[in-house]
Structure 1
């Protein structure tokens, strides 16, 4: 007997000992012939759950810099329980989870697995799948067929290189083995792909949209293939009857059960008539369907998946997931991965088959998806880099291949070597996907490629693209009025990308808001059955569509939604602006006007979003403070632009200049000339002083003045002298008090909208000192004054920051809060309320 045969002989003996054992129970109970559930099984089950929760959460925070989704960490920790690693220690095998407790724990894992697949069904959207574009569908189909064809060839090659007994080789060189091997090759895990794209901020790029839709379609067809082919592996003689019965059951669910459930759920959701007991009956429907498909000869998870798909999407789905997700997904599903790890024998496989064969297998397993996707994307003109990136993302696996491999293990279809190699490959591919994508595809690096994405440098006949960000429908009216003011030049058409900003709640369903067609949302049920985010998106889309019709379709409007944690949603705004080649981003202010005209905080998180956006935006940015601006379709608009100097003021003047061409706008430009104390330079405010020196800072300051004079003179020559609706005025100030006096004078004259520059690049000692007292530094010194309730103005405000220059560095919220409280004694206020 050679060395490999000896290892296999010892392994087979150990498997028989672990797989077949005798339990002697001394229990006087005449009904339950087992140990006490409360005193024996429950403590071990609780210990297993606690172990998985603690280890997975700890590992998740450690691996966060690698952008790994939580499910990947759960699979990794589950594999660490292999008998060759943690599972083989005396503490785990004897004290924590003894052999007698494995079967009951495995039963509970299947309970959690059914619920996990039910949640996966809720995440799928048939409207998106059935109405997907040809590109995504072609990539999905190619990513299923080609890998299955190549997978059979790879399995045959590896079988020819197998080291071991010929008897063992013959037992696993069957049609069933080929079927399971190739099915694993074709799988793509849609939930993990969506999480990876979200973490890497690629969800709203062209590549992200194609990859997400293709992953959803692939995942759906993978489940269909699984439901149709698995019966042949489990019971080949009666498989055809199982398949026919399963198809009949699915048709019954969609044709008969789905319409009834849709009416019932929409009616009760509309009237908010759900309680926990009724929700429990809905959840138990997943287990009832799982039981039926199990009886029919298919796998139980097929019934749970179908049941999840037929439930109508919207407010009810969100409520159901929020109330019940933790049980199956958070607590029970990780134990399923631990159960997979118990069966893993990877080190044994390396010893018997050699490192070369194992590495070759893992490498060849990654190739079919990339190759098939690359072939499909070439027909649609995508670059090779994008094709490879989509192919890498399609290699992301999920829970389905693990279910397949566990069935193959239970039915002894695949050998221990094949099971171990494929299981580890599933994990490794899912781990390295976000790392590879982060390396080869970084759209954030593209932000600084175009230095001319400003309105000042926009050519006369170029299209103006504006990314209008809103959080709720209330903010749309004022921003639309600003957009209409910019829609003044027929030679330079306006294109609006309306982006709703939605805070991610943690469910994959919310990620699809931006990819669900507006008409599909209306067809999915009554308006009241939609989630709050979907209702807002529908309202926002209708408002912007009405605006496009009101302009006689001269303005092109596109409505999207960005769903992400508020702490990183600014990166999604960057990517959408980059993708749509926007020239200007308009953001709503974090305060809203009350009925009395006082600005009140609506959501403090919006302030952080605005500061994050203007810190490194890929184009110019405007923050809009809405105090109720009138519609240009009905009334004339008085606009006042205050020009002090610097790149932001030049950009603000460019915006005002464009608005002045609208026939219903009257523009007044007031240039504030600094002299005396107000003109003293503050060299320390320049961040580049240390590297370039004080002389260079002074030269830059003089250069900015020259650019200011040149642009203002051009404005006076081309606009003021040729338009009766434009006025130009100059005011000289000597101190901070003079600035407040000028602002009070201008406000008493009256205007509907202020347009100001944020003020980056001004090297004035007065403005540097005033900046330390601002409550909202993202508005700049003058903007913070005008927006202050103490100023007493009723005018709206648009603060503009030009792209391509240094950005202001904001202090943390804690520092701002402490300084604001320190200035609340009134000494820092420049204005008293004007009665």
Structure 2
């Protein structure tokens, strides 16, 4: 009798002896952990709480060494079993009494069916089709050799540890299947966390893992059918029925499910309630059918997941609806049942440990050797081939499911079961460190060849004269941009700034566009086209759906709504837009942006920021009040300028600020952070820029960017060079800030890093830490400030003729100098005056104080303590 049906029978036998329910409960002195068939829920809740807490606590520690969560769940189950906590007197009798296990087993088996349904949803046949030849070779080699080694090892294992009443053929089949299986769900997560999905190795492993998983489950179904049949002829009938049922599901039922998904609009807007109901009915119907014909119910659930349509991300959406409950509650229950059957104390003599070591070594050798040799013969290097072999040796929870099926079928003894569980844990634990050592990031070969972009990133060896002529010290025009798309709220601001960097289609006088000009203002060479690469970031969480998104990133990139909106924006504006999608853990988001910009030879990274909305019912919150003490306590320098109105918003803003700081610290590419305040007053028409120039490399970059923006005839600018002088008697009266109610549309903050200067960022510190400047570096920076200012504020014939685009851009910029003891207040006052005449004001500022001539920290602190307003923050930054 299959295990799922057996659990039901044991459960209902227990329900036949119902007792009267106690009315008093805890107040009458009743032990809440006492099990009664009339009220099994109380003990079940206690069991679930203990199991979940144990799994979560272990995962906190294992996550730091980049181990998959399944190891924590399995270890938690083992610790709660007879190996550890079971040795505490009274623990098992009170928490996991034998009479309560049927109830726990029933829920665990329900969860297992749901999990196998999710595994079926993860498997995408198109992944195998795209890499069919290589993946089939690696997959078959990773099955044949381990199966042979497992069958060979089963002979001495059977003689020493298995009861003679068990057929040797059955035991040999289960041993071979346990050796040949690969944990596809765990493999997907490891590939994603190690950022291998976009490498040649990752693509092949993913494809081979899918094929290996399908073949492994088929072999397991055959093994279970043979065990339950009792005779060869019955097993043949079971096999034929399962094949016919599978064909029925994969052809007519799958087509019906796709038709129904389109009919109900589930492929466009996610599964409707009716479609979700249909899928759940199909899931349990398939599980019921495979269970009654003599194969475990989990195979029916697995097939149900495979036939769900992938169109429009429907499989991912279904996974999102189910995964939390399955991952948090059901799977830990199943692993606890496994742990209760695992007693490492049974490994108590030399021969047992010798066989345990042999099981682990042969299992690894079979997978590693077979897949490595197959990959090497397919053209991979030895390093890549060995990495493929290491990844394919990952066992994880799939082998544990196989072992539990064998234990429940009576094929495996508890001692052999414990030996194989230890082997599965060991190989899964070794996968991540082994791959990290064999295939470090600097040795990885990514899919595709970026050609000129990669050469440009290494030093401008692309051979394109346009690129070399357009981005030099004398002509610092940037034309390759990386735009980071995080949320839908960022799209308006991204579009607004991207629109500003676009050169005009034609100049006001009707001359040729600067996109194709050969004017002397650009050294007599053609100005290259502006191109934008939109990078969509998706955080890799613990959810299965996030891993599914990473494995199908090449198809998801065509359906992602944010990328679709930005592509349409590019088409409407004649802007070449390339798109990329990256699914990485939160801690690696900043590195992903920096690495992407480097590999694509971007000249400027555009980061979005949407300030938190003020709370309408709170006066202080409406003003955006924040004290320096609070900002320091949060270790978040951005909050001092763009503090949120509520605790929830503040938390979100703080999280995003750490990402921004990480990009500034990691990136060797110039970075622009723009803040969209949401004010669309006076949209359309001309735009005015205000830029206070204080000095330093970031301000020089900002000045060059302002000049580039003014190539557009609709842009005008006011550039104010501010220097600090000593306080005089007439300067004691401070300027008024009554005009700070003005709001800017977009506020970009530019941060650059020059060669030879080290910039580091530490999350625990309240601000970015810079290297201590010397007298020489300060003099060099001041000289560079003067040269840059003279080049634009006092242009000569060297900057181009009267008809050059540069000369035209400079004619729209008003340059002026100001010396004052209160430079920040003076800048605010000038910005408020400009706001009175220009409704659309764009405020530009260099990010850092690095190598600036004066330090304005004291004045900045005094301004915040005096005004503490959101408007002041927008002007000051």
TM-score by length of 2: 0.69
Match of 1:612 in 2: 662
Match of 1:8 in 2: none
2:721/2:816 contact within 8 Å kept: yes
Match of 2:187 in 1: 193
Structure 1 pair 152/327, CA: closer, same or farther in 2 (3 Å)?
Answer: closer
SS state at 1:68 partner: coil
Structure 1 residues 91-125: Cα deviation after superposition (integer angstroms, max 9, x where no partner): 24433323344344333322221122122223344
Shift of 1:199: 4.7
Match of 2:496 in 1: 478
1:68 paired to 2:67: yes
Structure 1 residues 469-505: Cα deviation after superposition (integer angstroms, max 9, x where no partner): 1222444522542563499586656553312234567
2:557/2:579 contact within 8 Å kept: no
Structure 1 residues 724-768: Cα deviation after superposition (integer angstroms, max 9, x where no partner): 313163423333243334545666675775554213414454533
Match of 1:102 in 2: 101
Q: Pick from 587, 595, 598: which aligns with 2:607? A: 587
| 1:353-502 superposed matches below 5 A | 353=351, 355-375=353-373, 378=376, 384-414=382-412, 418-437=416-435, 443=441, 459-460=468-469, 465-470=480-485, 471-472=487-488, 473-482=491-500, 484-485=502-503, 488=515, 492=528, 495-502=531-538
| 1:685-724 superposed matches below 5 A | 697-712=774-789, 716=795, 718-719=798-799, 722=804, 723-724=806-807
Q: Pick from 294, 302, 306: which aligns with 2:303? A: 306
Q: Distance in 1 between matches of 2:545 and 2:669?
A: 31
Please list every run of 5 or more consecutive structure 2 residues that lacks an aligned counterpart in the other structure.
Answer: 1-9, 20-33, 445-453, 472-477, 505-513, 517-525, 615-622, 624-641, 728-757, 762-768
RMSD: 5.1
SS state at 2:90 partner: helix
Q: Distance in 2 between matches of 1:760 and 1:217?
A: 56
Structure 1 residues 671-707: Cα deviation after superposition (integer angstroms, max 9, x where no partner): 61525249xxxxxx9999xx9998x633321122233
Shift of 1:327: 4.6
Structure 1 pair 355/514, CA: closer, same or farther in 2 (3 Å)?
Answer: closer
Please list every run of 5 or more consecutive structure 1 residues that lacks an aligned counterpart in the other structure.
Answer: 1-20, 523-533, 679-684, 775-819
TM-score by length of 1: 0.72
1:643/1:670 contact within 8 Å kept: yes
Shift of 1:404: 1.6
Structure 1 pair 730/443, CA: closer, same or farther in 2 (3 Å)?
Answer: farther
Q: Distance in 2 between matches of 1:214 and 1:354?
A: 33
Q: Which moved more, 1:314-323 or 1:109-118?
A: 314-323
2:323/2:544 contact within 8 Å kept: no
1:540 paired to 2:563: yes
Structure 1 pair 185/618, CA: closer, same or farther in 2 (3 Å)?
Answer: farther
SS state at 1:396 partner: coil
| 1:319-358 superposed matches below 5 A | 321=319, 324-349=322-347, 351-353=349-351, 355-358=353-356
Structure 1 pair 376/593, CA: closer, same or farther in 2 (3 Å)?
Answer: farther
Structure 1 pair 184/708, CA: closer, same or farther in 2 (3 Å)?
Answer: farther
Shift of 1:276: 8.0
SS state at 2:483 partner: strand
Q: Distance in 1 between matches of 2:496 and 2:845?
A: 17
2:151/2:173 contact within 8 Å kept: no
Shift of 1:290: 0.5
Q: Distance in 2 between matches of 1:423 and 1:574?
A: 41
Structure 1 pair 360/497, CA: closer, same or farther in 2 (3 Å)?
Answer: farther
2:480/2:531 contact within 8 Å kept: yes
Shift of 1:166: 6.8
Shift of 1:71: 2.5
Structure 1 pair 424/52, CA: closer, same or farther in 2 (3 Å)?
Answer: same
Q: Which moved more, 1:394-403 or 1:230-239?
A: 230-239
Structure 1 pair 163/194, CA: closer, same or farther in 2 (3 Å)?
Answer: closer
Match of 2:826 in 1: 738
Q: How many residues align?
A: 722
2:603/2:670 contact within 8 Å kept: yes
Structure 1 residues 652-677: Cα deviation after superposition (integer angstroms, max 9, x where no partner): 345456556x6757675836152524
Q: Pick from 579, 585, 598: which aligns with 1:558? A: 579
SS state at 2:106 partner: helix
Structure 1 pair 451/653, CA: closer, same or farther in 2 (3 Å)?
Answer: farther
Match of 2:149 in 1: 154
Match of 1:789 in 2: none
Q: Pick from 244, 247, 251: which aligns with 1:248? A: 244
